[in-house]
Structure 1
């Protein structure tokens, strides 16, 4: 009986102890909630770095009051964060929980680890919040398919889906030689693509889909034509959900007129602003099916630049509803940059009470060479798990690739849909 009581007392003490006291040699990324960047060791200096998984000295071993990288620990020298011998008093921190984030406080002083305002991590009076993101987080099995919220699903997404050389021209003739995709929008839908990144420009031919220079485009495709293809697909497939991302260079009134040409758009257009998503979270797939609201359209246009708000006619401002990593992994051949950091400056790990932004993960190069895309697409799940999930603290909702038919990116979609960060 005495042994049982002793064991129970030890268990209760462990449960009642603060989280910092229970931490024991946990590999983590020390990630700023302000900038979304990771603290990384550079010699004896500690810098903010673009999240880069297990590279670039960004992994720390958390042992309650110390954070160790290699043989040295995160410490302080005056106002600067530095690495020190782990037995140094200046390598000790009071790690104070604040929800799922932490403040790193200097013991006995009103000073904290600070990320804001500098590339170098420093110590000051600001009380910045930090994530201690596990290097190998426990993944949660996804609910049954229909019960998954929109932020619990991963969709295969075609980068520059219109630039396929099948549906029509998308650039001056010599650029048409380097399409991002090899199949038309109809075939993309049939193959399981559910996200479409489209560049739309205002030209004398109307609002057309084209890349950079829109002069001399042969057989230009109007935006409304491809949106109509999507709406017709949704009519014929009442369980499917599709998202369109517009890289948007047209005036709001032109975009509205273009979308007004799409027969049946209003029947399927999902309006998260009217569905209470910011308060209640994203709806489930079954809810979207029951209401028939199965098409989400985003624009990258800035709200501040619009006299007529685009979300007034159902086109959502993407930075308000998603986070997205920087679009390029580098040139079309050679080595690639797998670091995962924000395209817009908004931290990928941004959250709000009751609301998790959807995560658009871009995974493609400057130039869409088929050989490179095949190799890159085969590594998609690996990059997502080791680099981008920890950076965003969430599993990608959209995986955007070139030449989706190469390298089996659908395997990554299925794996990420099954188990979530």
Structure 2
């Protein structure tokens, strides 16, 4: 039986979200994965060990590309699936590919908690490790073999073809078991009003207004807001030279009105947020009925008990989640944090892959890695906490929206989610964010993902 969600306040910082402890597992709970094909995935960065001309480096997850898949043998070897007879091993203090028959290819795989393992040189305390971050940089790509401890030496062995489980009826599914069709730059549609200077207006991210998007089944809305003397306005990059701009409260009112008319539906709004907290609070105060439907995971014990079911959310009337990409630290410096008036900090409640697949034409980059992994931030897609899994936002769009490209990309959405992004995050996407959702049938990908969940 699930624990009921008590109405208790919980304040969590981004630093707390990023904190992870690797604890030993009792002997009875120890379990080494069976032989099979795996990604060797860093618990620190979420990146995968890849064979790079003999060196073993951590690279952005790329599915069956980039020599990142390894066959785990019963003898503790990890044979690269693209190079039979060649295994993940070591030469001195460096991770290298070596002949699988070599003693340097053997590892002792030791469970260290939370589905994590160390790859230890038998009979020693030397382990496969990610190198520490140099000042002002990310973790180096080459992997080392040394006396590393903690997360730097912790690895997921992520199955290439993970097991899944069927889902219960809709009202019994928890929020993190559901996938929603999400419109990237939903406001930039050329129907509701202007969103950019004239030239950029020629390349709308969507071609249907917010009300039509709701009617079509879109349940996630990515909105850019900029500050003007008129409040929080929906614009791309800047509101200068935008004709007929739309205020945030106008689109939020459309969403709230829809939710009041459809009491079994749930909507999430993602704000790319360039306004002061006081301006945003005043904007939200203009939306009639917002408080009746606003969902506050910070006040309902989500971190202790996990996400509520869709039935619980419907019964409570809490069916609109608003998230901001703004920094909590910056808001504290300004004197008002956005969660005091119901806007959650996205980095505390979600993980999200990098926003771009490349330019609007030409080759695409299907690798799936965290939007929040750089010299100053480290929130891998694999981030979890005891009893709590962040929601996973999967971005699937280009720098510029070209109709033919968007249609082709959207037709490949389910494939990228299954082969690239699901394994990269070790969970299925909860939000599939696309341009031109009317092309390529991304709704079919959403429907397919809503038939199963990862364990």
Q: Taking structure 2 as the reference length, what is the TM-score of the superposition?
A: 0.87
The answer for the alignment partner of 1:80 in structure 2 is: 94
Alignment partner, residue 125 of structure 1: 147
Match of 2:301 among 276, 296, 300: 276
1:339: which partner in 2?
Answer: 367
The residue number in structure 2 matching 1:415 is 448
Residues 102 and 288 of structure 1: CA distance in aligned 2, closer, same or farther (over 3 Å): same
Aligned to 1:48: 58
Q: 2:130 aligns with which of 115, 125, 132?
A: 115
Distance 1:241 1:337, change over 3 A: same
Please give the residue correspondences for 1:197-212 in structure 2 after superposition, counting only pairs within 5 Å.
Answer: 197-212=222-237
Matches of 1:125 and 1:214 in 2, distance apart? 53
Q: 1:359 aligns with which of 367, 374, 392?
A: 392
Deviations 1:381-404 (A, max 9, x none): 000000000000000000000000
1:294 aligned partner:
319
Residue equivalent to 2:346 = 318
RMSD (Å) for aligned C-alpha atoms: 1.2
Instruction: Report the counterpart of residue 17 of structure 2 in structure 1.
Output: none
Q: How many residue pairs align between the two structures?
A: 404
Distance 1:199 1:17 in 2: 47
Unaligned runs of 5+ in 2: 1-27, 133-139, 374-378
Farther off after superposition, 98-107 or 367-376: 98-107
In structure 2, distance between residues paired with 1:33 and 1:331 = 30
Per-residue deviation, 1:141: 1.0
SS of residue matched to 1:266: helix
1:17-96 maps to which residues of 2 (within 5 A)?
A: 19-20=31-32, 23-24=34-35, 26-64=36-74, 65-69=76-80, 70=83, 71-96=85-110
Matched, 1:388 2:398: no
* Residue aligning to 1:398: 431
Do the aligned partners of 1:34 and 1:116 also contact (CA within 8 Å) in 2? no
**Secondary structure, aligned partner of 1:273:** helix
> Is the 1:75–1:81 Cα contact (8 Å) retained in structure 2?
yes
Which protein has the larger Cα radius of gyration, Structure 1 or Structure 2? 1
Superposed CA deviations along residues 317-361 of structure 1, whole A, max 9, x for unmatched, are: 000000000000001011100000000111001100000000000
Shift of 1:174: 1.8
1:185 lines up with 2:196 in the alignment: no
Contact kept? 2:239, 2:245, Cα under 8 Å = no
Q: Distance in 2 between matches of 1:40 and 1:158?
A: 33
1:374 maps to what in 2?
A: 407
Q: Are 2:226 and 2:238, in contact at CA under 8 Å, matched by a contact in 1? A: no
Give the whole-Å Cα distance in 2 for the aligned partners of 1:294 and 1:418.
22
Shift of 1:18: 6.3
Q: Does 1:328 align with 2:356?
A: yes
* 2:119 is the alignment partner of 1:104: yes
Cα distance between partner residues in 1 of 2:197 and 2:271 = 20
| Distance (whole Å) between structure 2 residues aligned to residue 174 and residue 356 of structure 1 | 41
CA distance in 2, matches of 1:214, 1:80: 51
Q: Decide whether the 8 Å contact of 2:86 with 2:98 is kept in 1.
A: yes
What is the SS of the residue equivalent to 1:143? coil
Structure 1 unmatched ranges of 5 or more = 1-15
SS for the counterpart of 1:361 is strand
Distance 1:18 1:323, change over 3 A: closer
Q: Which residue of 2 aligns with 1:4?
A: none
2:192–2:246: 8 Å Cα contact kept in structure 1?
yes
Determine helix, strand or coil for the equivalent of 2:298: coil
Tell me the SS of whatever aligns to 2:313.
helix
Report runs of 4+ in structure 1 exceeding 2 Å deviation. Answer: 16-20
Q: Distance in 1 between matches of 2:340 and 2:229?
A: 26
Q: Equivalent residue for 1:348?
A: 381
CA apart distance, 1:17:
11
